[in-house]
Each structure stands twice: as structure tokens, then as C-alpha cells.
Structure 1
Amino acid sequence: MRRPALPRELNFHYESFPFAPTGTATQPLESVIESLLPSMARATELCETLLEHLTWMFSIVSRQYLIGELIPAVYTQNRIHGQMYGPHDLALLLIALGIGVFVDLNLPPYHEEAEYYYRLARSVVSLQSVLTRPSIATIKCLHLMSIYNGMSGNASNLEDSYRLLNLAGHVALGVGYDPFSWDPSLMGIGGKEAYDRRAYFWNLVQPILWQSLLTDHPPPIMAMFISCRMLSAEEEETHEQSGVPLGSGAWSCQFIMECLFPVTEAMLASNPPTYQNVLELDRRIRAFNIPLSSPLDSASSEMQHFVRSHFSALTLMFLHRSYFTRALADNPTNPLNSAHSQSFSTTYECACVILDSTRDQYDRQPDLVPRVWRIWTNALSAAVIIGTVAMHNLNATLKPSPLEKLEHACTLFRSAAKASSPASRALVSTLLLIMIIPEDRS
């Protein structure tokens, strides 16, 4: 279905994001945007789709809030906690609709309906200042906008995805007089509300740290500035009512503080860590017990099983990546003889694990997996490492064979490329790697 172009006044606000233009009345524009919403039934359907297919990756908005409170408030003019919803609440709903379109398996990938909702969301965000009048809805909206840009299939949107996630982190450090990084108990908040705030805070921190490791940019939130305490297993049992495994649980909070934060700080410090520090972090990561639920319970359980299954591999790959390069520089013909050989072999082994688990999950869920860009970003990072090893003529000394693994990666990317722009770009990059490997090394 072809969606109408946005009215001119909304385009002005779209282009002004993230700033709020002065001298414009917000209520008339908010009413215009409300008139462009889909039916309540369609909005509910898209939100259900979002929750069904992406709760394994994040827990940003709960079903109770999104469908039980926000949709009724917008469509029937009810009140949320005694107040009418604001522009950022409306934007939160709109961006949820856009992402819901992306993971609606009854629609083709990158359906234009998603962009329509995104443009509306970005326009309505600018009706209220992101920087001077933020709320928790503001942070969640920016977080979802980051995810939307990552899932859009447009490579030029990836920078926007990174910037929006960083912006969400910066805003979280100063929401009014009560920074979101503070523990809710310091503001007199307890019970389910405190649990929800803590759970979302750690769900925000985790992708910020992964993004920092991927891009080599420091995160906006550092461990030393956090007073928000970690979730406990008892809290989860008391307050988590959904049967679907959601986002960051108690184990994930521990992994973030004990492994992910230390690795991020070490890798991005102005002075690189000593090799002894790297090996100590390696031992800590390997010793951390990550619970793996049965992958057969449900689609969401299956996807979270997939994510957890290579948590350690991803962290170890990022930890050893710089010393992997050092090992190749030390001894290009046989980096296994380098003083940093453990980093070389660990990085290669972890890259193989990531590719293998990606292929297995793609075989299980060939419709959903191509639509999740983070999976293919990590898979490409792994393929580049394997391709680098293959270029150094080590096929006879390493098992599995680097060239064979690289060809497997090509097969995977080629299969997913029909429905995934990131996989398509990864295919091109991997084919280029194969082309520059000398024939005598293949």
C-alpha cells in the first residue's frame, strides 16, 4: 500500500531532529500526526509482531505498556498515570510500529510502510526538545530509532544508528534531576517500577558496549558513573510476568559488569592493556557461566539461546583482536610461533564459532534471521578475521581450514542476501577477500 507523503510542516520538523524548532505550536501538528496513524487494530498487530520477534534481543517496552497503556491512550484519549501522553510517547509508539513492519514476516523485507512510521516518529520527536525536556520515553524512543536505522537495510543509515544509540546513552545520564543511571531507590522508587527501570537501563547499556567494541569508539556510559544496581534472580522471579525470556536478566547484568565493561574499558583505553591483562580477562570470560535455555521452547527462546551461545565468543574475539593483528605482524608466515599466538588462535576459533552459530540459526529461522542486522554485522567481522588468516597460507596448519570456512561464509551470505542488505554487503566483502588470496594459497 502506497503511503501519502508527509505534509510540509512535518517535513520541517523531520529535518530539524533532534532539535525542536521554536515558534511553532505543537498541538496542531500532533493532531495532524494522530490523523495519519493506522487503525487501532493494525497498530496492535504491529506491536504484537515486534514483541513476538524481537524480545529475545531487547526489552525496551513491555507488552503491558505498549499495548495495555500507550495504544489505548493514543486511540481513545485515556490517560497514562494521570497525564495525557506527550510527543515522545507518541513517537515511541510510531517507531515501534515501524520496527514491527520490519519483522512482519507476512511483508517483504524493508517494506515502505516502515519508513512512513519512522518519518512520523522523527517528526513528532522534534515537537519537544530531546536535550532540555527528556523523559524515559525519550530514551526508549531514541533507542528504538537506533534499532530502526540498523534494520533499515541502508548502509548510510548505520552511522545514524550509532549516533542515536549514543544519544540515548547521553540523555540517560541526565533525565531531569534524576539521572537514569542512578538506582531508582535513590529517588524513592520501589517495587515493579524500580525493577522495570533497572531492567531497561541494563538493556540500554549492553548494546552501547557492543557498539563501542565494534566501532572502537568509547561508550557514553561508563561503569564508574553507574549506581543503578544489577537485577537479582529473585526480582526477576517476582516481577517478570512474561513467559518469554526478555533482554538482560540477572546473569546478563553480571556479565556486563564482570566481563563486558572491563573488556570495553581495556580495549578503548588511551594506553593499551598489557598482554597479561588480556589473558586475565580471557580467563574471567571463560569462567563465566552463561545459562543456555532449551532452544526448542519457542521462537524467542530459540533466538535468545542463539545470542547467549556466542556471547563469550564475541567478547573474546573483540578482546584478542588487536593482539591477533600483533601476532600476524610478529611472524607473518607462522603467527602460531608468535609470543601472542594464544590471541591468534583464540580470535580465529571464536570467529569460526560465530559463523557456525549464525549458519545454524539461519537454517532454523530463515525468514527472521536475515532481518536482524546485528547478526550479519558480527558474522562479517568473523568472516574478515577468517579471510585474513586464509591470506597468510595457514590452511594446512589450522583446523578447520580458513579457506574452507571462508567459502562456507560466502554460501551463508549468498543465501541470506536475497532478504538482507547487510548479508548482501557481507557477501561482496567476502568474495573480494577470496579474490585477493593468491592461487597457491587456496
Structure 2
Amino acid sequence: MTGASGDRTGQCPIALDHDFYADPHPAYRVIKENGNKPTPIVLKTGMAYLPPGLEAWLVTAYEDVEFVLRDPRFRKSIDEAMPLFAAQSGGTAAARGSLLYNNMANNDPPVHTRLRKPLNAMFTSRSVAGRRDVVRSAALETLEKVAGSQTFDLVKDFAFPFSISVISRTLGVPDADRGTFHGWVQTITGDAPPEILRRDAGLMVEYLRGLIRGRRESAGNGTDDVLTLLATSLAEDEAVAQAYALLAAGYETTANLIVTGFLTLAAHPEQLRRLWSDPGLVPDAVEEMLRHQSPFNLSLYRYVTEPVELNGVRIPRGAIVFLAFAAANRDECRFTEPDSFDITQPHRDHLAFGGGIHNCIGKHLARMEAQVAFETLIERCPGLAVHTPDEEFDWKASPTFRGLRTLRVGPGPAPGGWEREQ
């Protein structure tokens, strides 16, 4: 390992493995008991461009995370990061490369600014608010497909198809293609072998390239969706990478929030009863879910351009750094009773959407989408409960996207609710 190899503070790296993906908080508690300082880690599984065996640093304290989000010595450039990934993991990173990753999330200004600028107006709070009726229709339409069922899969039957429908309509993905890309995204954001990762990333590139070329050819016909905006504002490879970033992050995190949010409610029956009896609490409940569950568990990478001392720990030049949003959102120095889950708490400023220049561009859409999802579940599924036993929970092996692969709930909605709204 280069760069960071000379200064690991004498600690044995904490292994981030399947137990961590299922519940990261035991590991975070150990770090907090040792001063909540930057801590060496090793990723036991890979994801996208991150190879298994990657050694890095984990930042967990709220104040430290905020510092890193705004300090220019912690940088993001996928072209500069790939050699660091290879050097700090035994040289396996190169096989994981794809143009998909060269997007705004993996670059700093001036590249980040140029890539993000065309999209800003499409994701303002005002623009998103104007789509609420469309999002509600998508939620009702999705739920109606399981009407009359004793149980249904909250992941596969509601959260993912609903979120895919919303992001597809936002981007302008054809109706017939909704779901085409889902398997590829799951491969890329999970722990697939390199050959499967390369295959599915290549399929995603070609699929998006076809959509972008089609939009460029039909530009000027009055279409104002995001894909058209990307096609007419950026070079083709840039547009493809941007479309991937919006597509993947735009539905994966929101779907996971819906599922883990309901799972947490079910684990706190008094909170579930209170929310189901008072839908006016939904906005506050969603904020508490974002804080308590943090569907973006770890940030995307950063690397250090010069030695930095953070909370008494020297992080060396060339080190890879991850920010633990889920840990920061339960920092007792920032929040009272941080591990408690209380949907009636006054608004608690969380970091679920990151911060600084890399704050999530889709945060207003994600909030509104989650609110609509829970409003619809409350309205259509008054007795909803979890049916999957705890011991059968299957968590996705991803350091970034924390979510279940399946969750049986029930009963489903009574038939006919969707038709009554038409």
C-alpha cells in the first residue's frame, strides 16, 4: 500500500464485511468508544470501481465529516483515484474501470461545476414540487398491482418499481425500458466478480448511449426531460456518465429508504401507530428515517492531496477516505439520544444528503418521493406489518447503498383504490 501505508496509527484496520453491511452501528460504536477518530478500514467486498481489499480511512464524527466535506485537500477525481485504488488494494482496480464513473459525483471543480450546471434547474424544490401529482400516481399505480394480496414484497413489488418509475419519468426513459437497467445497477453497486461487473457496466453504457443518441437526434421536438438536456449540453460520454449517476442514485437510495424506514417503524410499534393515525407527521418521519437509517451509509471516496491532521490523527497524502454519514447522523456530540427513533422530534440536521459542493442534487426529489410513498402506504395499507423474520433478512453487500433484497409485508391494499382516483 502506498501513501497511506506509512501511517496507520498502529491500528489493525476494521474489516467492513457482510456483518457491517447488515448493521454498521456495532462497528461505529467501537470507533466512538475509542474517541470517534478517523480509523483505518479495509473493504472486504468491492463495488463499482472500489476493489475488494481496499485499505482506507473512515471518518465518523459529525464535526469531522462536515470538515472533510468542505476542505479542498480532500479531493474527488476518478482518473486520479483509480491508480490509488490499485496501489492500496493489490493492483486489482484497473479491471473495474468504466466511463460510467466519470460523472459529477466523482469529480471536483471545474469538471464537477460544468457537469452539474445543466441539471440544477431540473432539481430545485420548486421544480420537484410541481411533479408531486405524477409521483403520487406512480405510487398508487404500483400498489394497485398487489391489491388484494395477503402479503407482498415491499422491496420488489413497491419500493423499487415505484422509485424506478419516478426516476424514469424524470429522466425520460421509455416506459417499456423501466426495469431493463435494474439488474445492471444491482451488479455495479454490489459485490459482483470483475467479469460480471465489466459485462453489466458495458451493457449499461450501450443502453444509455442509445438513449442519448436518440435524444440528440430528436432535439428540438419539444421534449424537455433530463436525458434531452444531457444530450444537448454535454459530450456523449459525459452525458452517458451523468445519466448513469442520476439513474442509479436516483432510485436505489430512495427505494432503500422506504424499506428500511418502514422496517424501523415496525421495530418501534408506537411510532408506527402514531404515523399511521396521523399522516401529517410524514414529513418529520421521513427526516428522522433519513437521519436514523441513512440510506447512503458511506460516502463515495475522497483522496488526500497532502497530509492532514483530523481530530488528532494524521491522514497521509494519497490516502483514500470515506465519510460515514450513518455514524455522523448518530453522533452524541450532535444529537440528543442519537440511537433513538422518534418521528415527533423537532427537525434534526442530518447529513444523509452529504454537504458542500457534492450535496445530493436529487435531495428534494428523494424527500418528496419518500413522503408520497408513506402517505400512499398509510392510505392504502392501514394494517401493514412485517412478515419476514429477522433471521431471514438479506442485506445487500454494498458499503454505500444499505438495503434489503426482500421484505414481505402485508396485508396488501384493498382492490379498487387506484380506479377510484381516475
TM-score by length of 1: 0.28
More helix as a share of residues: 1
TM-score by length of 2: 0.29
Q: Which has the higher contact order (CA 8 A, sep 6+)?
A: 2
More strand as a share of residues: 2
Larger Rg: 1
